[in-house]
């Protein structure tokens, strides 16, 4: 689901940013210094909603809910899988990383490393987010997939490393 900030209501105070455990809120470059929520890194916790003094943050129904409606990890079949909620991305395809909770495996791409046929439905909308939120350009550059390692070769998909 993610959340969105109503631009016409936001007063730019920053209370929401400090409440967010995922660092999903960013101050825009607008004159008023309004905030936007990165719908990829927002994990739907809602901590920011109660901190906003003018109630300018609402659920965005256009996005699937992490571990809920629209997320494949809400199924019983994948109940033992954890998601890093876009804290790191696959170097090849840009998807958030998953791991098997019970074995404590390393974080790995669900498609490239774990060889699953499902992945985060939000990963299909990365280009849309980049276009709609130009103020997130820095985040996209920091976490962008790198199709080649230092030697110019594609990374080994079985050992996809986290991007830091």
Model confidence pLDDT, tens digit, residues 83-130 = 988 888 888 888 899 999 888 788 999 998 889 989 888 888 888 888
Residues 6+ apart with CB under 8 A from 18: 51
- Shared domain check, 121 and 85: yes
Residue 43 DSSP SS3: coil
Instruction: Give the CA distances from residue 126 to residues 31, 105, 148, in Å, rounded to whole numbers and listed in that order.
Output: 26, 26, 20
Over residues 20-56, the pLDDT tens digits come to 998 889 888 777 778 988 888 888 899 999 999 999 9
Residue found by looking up tokens 């499902």 in the block: 118
Rounded CA gap, 96 and 39, in Å?
A: 13
Domain finish residue from 18, 40, 63: 63
Per DSSP (E only), the strands in the chain are 3-5, 25-27, 35-37, 57-59, 81-83, 98-100
Question: 39 and 106: one domain?
Answer: no
**Do 79 and 111 belong to one domain?**
yes
Number of domains in the chain: 2
Domain of residue 93 covers: 66-164
Alpha carbon distance 50, 35 (integer Å): 15
Given 16, 43, 63, which residue is the final one in a domain?
63
Q: Which of 11, 36, 63 is the last residue of a domain?
A: 63
Instruction: Give the whole-angstrom CA distance, residue 6 versus residue 49.
Output: 12
pTM metric for this prediction = 0.70
In terms of domains, do 97 and 34 share one? Answer: no
Question: Do 101 and 125 lie in a common domain?
Answer: yes
**Same domain flag for 73 and 54:** no
Q: Express the helix, strand and coil content of the chain in percent, nearest 5 each.
A: 25, 15, 60
Query: What CATH number is attached to the domain comprising 52?
Result: 3.30.70.20
Residues 56 and 37: their CA atoms lie apart, in Å, by: 12
Q: Are residues 55 and 96 located together in one domain of the fold?
A: no
């Amino acid at each position: 689901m993610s959340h969105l900030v109503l631009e016409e209501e936001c007063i730019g105070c920053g209370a929401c940013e400090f409440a967010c455990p995922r660092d999903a809120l960013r101050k825009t470059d607008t004159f008023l210094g309004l905030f936007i929520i990165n719908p990829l890194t927002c994990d739907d916790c809602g901590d920011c909603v109660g901190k906003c003094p003018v109630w300018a943050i609402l659920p965005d129904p256009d996005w699937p809910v992490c571990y809920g409606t629209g997320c494949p990890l809400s199924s019983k079949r994948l109940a033992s899988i954890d998601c890093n909620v876009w804290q790191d991305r696959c170097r090849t395809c840009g998807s958030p990383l998953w791991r098997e909770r019970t074995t404590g495996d390393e974080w790995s791409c669900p498609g490239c490393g774990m060889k699953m046929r499902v992945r985060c439905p939000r990963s299909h909308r990365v280009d849309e987010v980049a276009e709609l939120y130009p103020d997130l350009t820095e985040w996209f550059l920091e976490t962008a997939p790198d199709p080649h390692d230092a030697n110019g070769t594609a990374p080994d998909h079985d050992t996809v490393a986290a991007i830091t």
